Structures are given as C-alpha cells and as structure tokens.
Amino acid sequence: DTGVSQNPRHKITKRGQNVTFRCDPISEHNRLYWYRQTLGQGPEFLTYFQNEAQLEKSRLLSDRFSAERPKGSFSTLEIQRTEQGDSAMYLCASSLRWGGTGSTDTQYFGPGTRLTVL
C-alpha cells in the first residue's frame, strides 16, 4: 500500500486553458474525495465518489469543473476555461466505508496538485 497518489504535483497554465488532474486512491478504498485548498485556509470539499458513482457535489463545483471515476478506481478532475481564481492546491483523499459498525470513514490524503493560473 503506497497511499494516495496525485499527478501532476504542479501545473502552471494560462487563463482559458483546460487542465486535468489524476488521483489514485489506496487500492481497497471505495470512496474518493476531492478538495480545494487556498493559501492559509483549510481544505474545502468539492465532490466525492463511492465506487464509480458521484454522490455529492459542493456548490463550489461550478459548471467548469467535472470529475469522473469511471471504473471505481482512479479519478480525474478537469477544469475547463481556467480562471486566475482557480489557482489553489487540489487535494484528493480516499476512505473505506462498508456501512457496518466499526466503519471509521477516515480519509487519507494525497500530496495534492498545485495549480497556478497565469
């Protein structure tokens, strides 16, 4: 088990371009979460998946943002027509939830992708 991985670690793009980030969760985890963290703030929840189903989307997730988890394993987060306000660290986390007693739902985080929009 190598933990949650994210690629790329850094992305610099020009305003108006599209970007895509990838997250690989811990292998046995069925839930995958995306967060955004701006400088000096705590992470803010964007969306999450249970297996391949996207169960919740925050109001922070504008129409320019789309996330997928097609086979219930890795996930991608795409931002279309990037704006300078999209500059942030994008964090991915995963957890194991089986719905029974003792399900801890502890989320383990990846190293993040830092996006800079020029």
Partner 1 sequence: AQTVTQSQPEMSVQEAETVTLSCTYDTSESDYYLFWYKQPPSRQMILVIRQEAYKQQNATENRFSVNFQKAAKSFSLKISDSQLGDAAMYFCAYVGGGADGLTFGKGTHLIIQP
Judged by the rule CB under 8 A, the positions of this chain that interact with partner 1 are 31, 33, 35, 40-48, 55-56, 58, 91, 93, 95, 97, 103-112
The answer to whether the beta carbons of residues 90 and 35 sit under 8 Å apart is yes
d(CA 14, CA 81): 9
Task: In angstroms, give the least distance from the CB of 72 to partner 1.
Answer: 17
Give the nearer residue to partner 1 in terms of CB position, either 14 or 102.
Answer: 102
d(CA 32, CA 24): 9
Using DSSP's 3-state secondary structure scheme, residue 37 falls into strand
Task: In angstroms, give the least distance from the CB of 46 to partner 1.
Answer: 8
Task: In angstroms, give the least distance from the CB of 26 to partner 1.
Answer: 13
